[in-house]
């Protein structure tokens, strides 16, 4: 047998490891050795899933609901999600356009396989959620990263997109609010981007996983229509991804969804059958409770806690001398420019963890453009811990 058969596929070499996972692993090792580590690296809510959702999941298991669901998800859940778009965006969505997936991650894998041919190009901002470009690479296509045209830009400008466009461009992949910057794309800018995509016959893909954690609107799901932006309300063919992970606090339940235009429904269903058979049944039954008003009340309180943490962290980082070019308007991240203190984000993160017990994520996880100048602080720890982290950070910088 020749050696080359015993190697992974070439395309896997294009997929970079998550540096944040190394940070997390080392943080856990240090903790196991008795050190007190403050976790500002992980992108998941520190609150456990709201009790009524947990109870619904337990009831589902007790009732023996352990079989597969239809590939696109439970009809009741897809109707609930359609109802959510009706209530908050005035969008009348046929539930057949909604596919429930194993997390937004499942939706993103599905989407890249539904859309992309080898040789296609997808445009995306730099920095961005790192998995997106890996999904594109695994489908044999290329990601073309577009750096911000001005400090703090939440998305590329139309001029930049024109300059980056060629016949291989098949998609424009955005997120709002974004990871790692927390930036929100304004309604007018999103409209301009949607028009651009339409005029170039390019798929507009918008990851709205942090939609409920958009602090630029007064309240998320407890208020009626109008507050909460979604690319779906623009009326075009936008493909929208969302999840029960972040606002709904269900990361480990692995449940998300994707809304596709009519012309992709059939293909998306066939691929979903083959890739996943179905999203986890117990999670879907639990998620039926997620939109109920008593649960939304709990989630809104948590959202307020995140907003308070955001206010505190942004203020503290700025007063310590970090710059925040992107306004942290949503998600649970501040993306800080560390160039006053270091020109190497990985070394900076290493020092903070080893010497001061603060775990944060290096910018090199998220892109190429000036990435070593940035560090992502996730405010997924409670306020007293954030305060402690800022005290330690002040000492570290002194």
Under the criterion CB under 6 A, does residue 284 sit at the interface with ligand PLP?
A: no
Under the criterion CB under 6 A, does residue 279 sit at the interface with ligand PLP?
A: no
Category of 262 on φ-ψ map: left (φ > 0), alpha (ψ -120 to 50) or beta: alpha
Query: From the list 245, 269, 278, 316, which residue makes contact with ligand PLP (rule: CB under 6 A)?
Result: 245
Under the criterion CB under 6 A, does residue 209 sit at the interface with ligand PLP?
A: yes
The CA distance from 374 to 336, in Å, is 5
Query: From the list 46, 207, 208, 346, which residue makes contact with ligand PLP (rule: CB under 6 A)?
Result: 207
Q: Which lies closer to ligand PLP via its Cβ, residue 356 or residue 369?
A: 369
Rounded to the nearest whole angstrom, what is the least distance from the CB of residue 366 to ligand PLP in the complex? 10
Under the criterion CB under 6 A, does residue 99 sit at the interface with ligand PLP?
A: no
The CA distance from 53 to 248, in Å, is 9
The CA distance from 190 to 136, in Å, is 22
Site string for ligand PLP, 137-176 (x = CB under 6 A): --------------------------------------x-
Q: Which lies closer to ligand PLP via its Cβ, residue 100 or residue 390?
A: 100
For residue 109, the SS3 value is helix
Which range binds ligand PLP by CB under 6 A, 243-251, 288-296, 316-324, 353-361?
A: 243-251
Distance from the Cα of residue 189 to its chain's centroid: 20
Q: Report 32-91 residues binding ligand PLP (CB under 6 A).
A: 43
Under the criterion CB under 6 A, does residue 251 sit at the interface with ligand PLP?
A: yes
Judged by CB under 6 A, the number of residues near ligand PLP is 13
User: Which strands form 333-337's sheet, in the order they lie side by side?
Assistant: 333-337, 374-378, 361-362
CB neighbourhood size of 143 (10 A): 19
For residue 332, the SS3 value is coil
Which range binds ligand PLP by CB under 6 A, 15-23, 97-105, 159-167, 223-231?
A: 97-105
Query: From the list 103, 130, 148, 357, which residue makes contact with ligand PLP (rule: CB under 6 A)?
Result: 103
Under the criterion CB under 6 A, does residue 104 sit at the interface with ligand PLP?
A: yes
**What does the block give as tokens for 374?**
């940035």
Taking alpha carbons only, the member of 248, 255, 258, 243 closest to residue 284 is 255
Q: Which lies closer to ligand PLP via its Cβ, residue 27 or residue 175?
A: 175
Sign of CA dihedral 224, 226, 229, 232: positive
Would you call 343 exposed, middle or buried from its count of C-beta atoms within 10 A (0-12, 13-18, 19+)? Answer: exposed
Query: From the list 49, 69, 230, 243, which residue makes contact with ligand PLP (rule: CB under 6 A)?
Result: 243
Query: From the list 57, 125, 256, 367, which residue makes contact with ligand PLP (rule: CB under 6 A)?
Result: 256
The CA distance from 242 to 283, in Å, is 15
**What does the block give as tokens for 309?**
């943490």
Q: Which lies closer to ligand PLP via its Cβ, residue 103 or residue 229?
A: 103
Rounded to the nearest whole angstrom, what is the least distance from the CB of residue 329 to ligand PLP in the complex? 14
| Biggest alpha carbon–alpha carbon distance for the chain | 65
Rounded to the nearest whole angstrom, what is the least distance from the CB of residue 278 to ligand PLP in the complex? 16
**What does the block give as tokens for 50?**
């709201």
Q: Report 173-192 residues binding ligand PLP (CB under 6 A).
A: 175, 179
Under the criterion CB under 6 A, does residue 329 sit at the interface with ligand PLP?
A: no
Helix (H), strand (E) at residue 207: strand 203-207
**What does the block give as tokens for 359?**
């775990």
The end-to-end CA distance of the chain, in Å, is: 59
The CA distance from 389 to 256, in Å, is 32
Q: Which residue is nearest to ligand PLP (CB)?
A: 103
Q: Which lies closer to ligand PLP via its Cβ, residue 105 or residue 157?
A: 105
The CA distance from 241 to 254, in Å, is 14
Q: Which lies closer to ligand PLP via its Cβ, residue 209 or residue 359?
A: 209
The CA distance from 51 to 224, in Å, is 24
Taking alpha carbons only, the member of 143, 147, 127 closest to residue 135 is 143
Rounded to the nearest whole angstrom, what is the least distance from the CB of residue 104 to ligand PLP in the complex? 3
Q: Which lies closer to ligand PLP via its Cβ, residue 332 or residue 348?
A: 332
Which range binds ligand PLP by CB under 6 A, 103-111, 230-238, 285-293, 338-346?
A: 103-111
Under the criterion CB under 6 A, does residue 113 sit at the interface with ligand PLP?
A: no
Under the criterion CB under 6 A, does residue 363 sit at the interface with ligand PLP?
A: no
> Strand 239-243 and strand 203-207: pairing?
parallel
- Contact residues for ligand PLP (CB under 6 A)? 43, 103-105, 129, 175, 179, 207, 209, 243, 245, 251, 256
């Amino acid at each position: 047998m020749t050696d080359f058969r015993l190697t992974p596929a070439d395309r896997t070499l294009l997929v970079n490891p998550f540096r944040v996972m190394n940070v997390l692993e080392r943080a856990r090792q240090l903790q196991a050795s008795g050190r007190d580590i403050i976790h500002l690296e992980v992108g998941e809510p520190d609150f456990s899933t709201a009790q009524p959702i947990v109870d619904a999941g337990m009831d589902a298991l007790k009732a023996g609901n352990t079989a597969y669901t239809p590939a696109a998800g439970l009809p009741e859940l897809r109707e609930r999600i359609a109802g959510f778009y009706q209530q908050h965006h005035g969008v009348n969505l046929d539930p057949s356009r909604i596919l429930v997936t194993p997390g937004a991650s499942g939706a993103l894998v599905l989407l890249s396989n539904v859309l992309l041919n080898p040789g296609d190009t997808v445009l995306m901002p730099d920095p961005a959620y790192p998995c997106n470009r890996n999904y594109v690479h695994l489908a044999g296509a290329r990601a073309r990263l577009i750096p911000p045209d001005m400090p703090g830009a939440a998305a590329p400008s139309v001029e930049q997109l024109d300059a980056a466009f060629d016949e291989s461009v098949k998609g424009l992949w955005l997120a709002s609010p974004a990871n790692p910057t927390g930036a929100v794309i304004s309604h007018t800018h999103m409209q301009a981007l949607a028009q651009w995509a339409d005029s170039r016959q390019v798929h507009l893909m918008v990851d709205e996983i942090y939609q409920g954690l958009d602090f630029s609107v007064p309240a998320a799901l407890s208020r009626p229509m109008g507050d909460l932006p979604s690319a779906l309300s623009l009326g075009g063919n936008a493909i929208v991804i969302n999840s029960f992970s972040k606002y709904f606090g269900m990361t480990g339940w692995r449940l998300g969804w994707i809304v596709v235009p009519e012309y992709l429904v059939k293909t998306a269903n066939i691929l979903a059958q083959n890739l996943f058979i179905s999203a986890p049944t117990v999670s879907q039954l639990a998620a039926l409770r997620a939109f109920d008003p008593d649960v939304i009340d709990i989630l809104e309180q948590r959202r307020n806690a995140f907003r308070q943490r955001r206010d505190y962290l942004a203020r503290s980082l700025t007063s310590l001398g970090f710059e925040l070019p992107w306004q942290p308007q949503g998600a649970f991240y501040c993306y800080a420019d560390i160039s006053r203190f270091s020109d190497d984000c990985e070394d900076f993160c290493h020092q903070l963890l080893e010497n001061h017990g603060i775990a944060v994520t290096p910018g090199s996880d998220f892109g190429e453009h000036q990435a070593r100048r940035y560090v992502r602080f996730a405010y997924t720890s409670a306020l007293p811990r954030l305060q402690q982290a800022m005290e330690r950070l002040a000492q570290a910088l002194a």
